[in-house]
């Protein structure tokens, strides 16, 4: 009978254990870094929001509104950065790079920030008398809203076309169970069809193509812009 080399089996077992633990630890480190990275983006976004709020509070005390274009430009930059954060966050969730609890917390922070920006944009428009249009975009998953992807493409195109004159705020209707403010907004505007847009205070249900949406947006602008003449 061949003699069993116990030492060899012990070493092999230890190596297997250490390899397993190394892989587990590496996975935890990578996930932790991703969550930390997104959390850092939200901390920056929170600071940017507080900065914008302070700037508009300051504007209320001024008679001269010369600084309005600068401040409104910063708000537009913050909204665009927030939407990029949303896309990155959803991509991480799709490939399961973030645990469910972490994803929900981060998305809640994003949603609250976005709604604050939306409210702040209304206040800014009143203070600065800037010719902009706000759009709330309610979307859902592919099963409930097969045209939401197409609507997002149209909105992205129009944002590039109108630039800072158009502020778009995208809200996931499915997230209302985690964030009640979405449920309140859906009730306020009677949102039950997806996609749905709220242009300033007017609701548009269902998918709307590029030309039709441009025509609707241009009804809200006071100025005569080339974007509205080349439909």
Same domain, 70 and 94: yes
Confidence of residue 72 (pLDDT cuts 50, 70, 90): confident
Same domain, 16 and 113: yes
Nearest Cα residue to 199 out of 172, 221, 179, 184: 221
More confident of the two residues 78 and 140 = 140
Same domain, 28 and 103: yes
Same domain, 101 and 145: no
Contact between 231 and 209 (Cβ < 8 Å): no
This prediction's pTM: 0.75
Same domain, 125 and 12: yes
pLDDT (0 to 100) of residue 203:
97
Residue range 31-63, pLDDT digits in tens: 666 667 666 766 776 676 677 667 667 766 756
Same domain, 123 and 17: yes
Whole domain around residue 184: which residue ranges?
Answer: 131-231
Torsion of CA 80, 84, 90, 93, to 10 degrees: -140
pLDDT (0 to 100) of residue 80:
81
The sheet that has 166-172: what strands, in order across it? 166-172, 133-139, 196-199, 202-205
Mean pLDDT calculated for residue range 87-97? 66
Cα(167)–Cα(152) distance, integer angstroms: 14
Q: What is the mean pLDDT of the chain?
A: 81
Instruction: Tell me which residue has tokens 């205070």.
Output: 201
């Amino acid at each position: 009978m061949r003699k069993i080399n116990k030492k060899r089996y012990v070493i092999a077992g230890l190596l297997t254990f250490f390899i397993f633990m190394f892989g587990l630890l590496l996975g935890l480190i990578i996930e932790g870094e991703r969550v930390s990275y997104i959390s850092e983006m939200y901390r920056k976004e929170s600071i940017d929001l507080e900065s914008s709020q302070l700037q508009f509070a300051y504007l209320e005390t001024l008679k001269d509104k010369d600084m309005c274009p600068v401040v409104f430009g910063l708000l537009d930059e913050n909204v665009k950065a927030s939407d990029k954060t949303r896309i990155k966050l959803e991509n991480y969730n799709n490939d399961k790079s973030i645990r469910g609890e972490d994803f929900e917390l981060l998305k809640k922070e994003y949603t609250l920030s976005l709604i604050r920006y939306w409210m702040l944009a209304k206040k800014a428009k009143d203070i600065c008398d800037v010719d902009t249009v706000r759009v709330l975009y309610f979307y859902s998953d592919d099963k409930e809203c097969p045209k939401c992807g197409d609507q997002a493409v149209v909105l992205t195109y129009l944002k590039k076309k109108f630039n800072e004159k158009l502020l778009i705020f995208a809200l996931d209707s499915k997230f209302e169970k985690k964030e009640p403010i979405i449920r309140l907004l859906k009730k306020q505007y009677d949102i039950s069809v997806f996609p749905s847009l709220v242009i300033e205070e007017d609701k548009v249900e269902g998918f709307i193509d590029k030309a039709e949406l441009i025509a609707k947006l241009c009804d809200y602008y006071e100025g005569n812009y080339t974007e509205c003449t080349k439909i």
